[in-house]
Amino acid sequence: MAFQLQEPYAPRPIRPLAPWENAGWRLKVYGIAYGRDLPRPALVQAAQQIATQRLPQPAVTPDRYGVGFLGVHDGRGAAFVFVDWWQSENELHHHVYVAPTEQPRALEYVTPTRLSACVWDLAVICFERQAWLETVLANPAGPDLDAYLARCLDADV
C-alpha cells in the first residue's frame, strides 16, 4: 500500500524549557516546534494548566515519586501536549492532549481514543526511558531523582 506524504521528514528542534514545579511535582519540560525554534508561550502556559489538572495528588506516595516530564509540541497541523510521570518503579503514565494549531488553549484529552505519540514525541520518550534506567533503575548508587531531572534532551531530531 503506497501513500503520499504531505512533506518529507525534517528534524525538529527538541529543547528543554524551564523545569516546572507545582504541588509537589517536579517536571522536565520539553518544547518541540514545527517551523520555529520553540513552541508559542500560550501553548506552554496551556500545557502547564493541563498538567496541573492531570497530575495525581499527592505527588509523592510510596509508589509515585513526584517526577516526570511535560512535552509541548507546536506541530504542523495541531498542537500537542503530553504529560508523563513515573510510578511503580518502572511504569510511565502517559497522557496526550491535542488542540487546533490556531487555538493552542483548546486542548482536548485524546489518550483513550486517539494517538499516543508522533515520531518527534517518541524521541523524548525514548530519551526519558534511558535516563530513568541509568539514574534510577540501574544506578549502582541507588535511585537518584535529582540526577534523573538533570538529564535533558536538547537536539534536532
Burial of 38 by CB count in 10 Å (0-12 exposed, 13-18 middle, 19+ buried)?
A: middle
Q: Say what percent of the chain tops pLDDT 70.
A: 100
- Would you state the pLDDT for residue 99? 97
User: If pLDDT is split at 50, 70 and 90, which confidence band does 1 have?
Assistant: confident
In sequence order, the 6+-apart residues with CB closer than 8 A to the CB of 106 are 99, 100
- For all residues of the chain together, what is the average pLDDT? 97
Task: Quick: pLDDT tens for 92-149.
Answer: 999 999 999 999 999 999 998 888 999 999 999 999 999 999 999 999 999 999 999 9
- Under DSSP, the state recorded for 77 is S
pTM given for the model = 0.96
How confident is the model at residue 2, as a pLDDT? 87
Which range is least confidently modeled, 64-73, 84-93, 112-121? 112-121
CA distance 120 to 101: 17
Which pLDDT score, from 0 to 100, does residue 124 have?
A: 98
What is the H or E stretch that residue 121 is in? Answer: helix 119-132
Could you tell me the three cell numbers for 28?
522536565
Q: How confident is the model at residue 30 (pLDDT cuts 50, 70, 90)?
A: very high
Comparing C-alpha atoms, which of 146, 147, 96, 97 is closest to residue 125?
Answer: 96
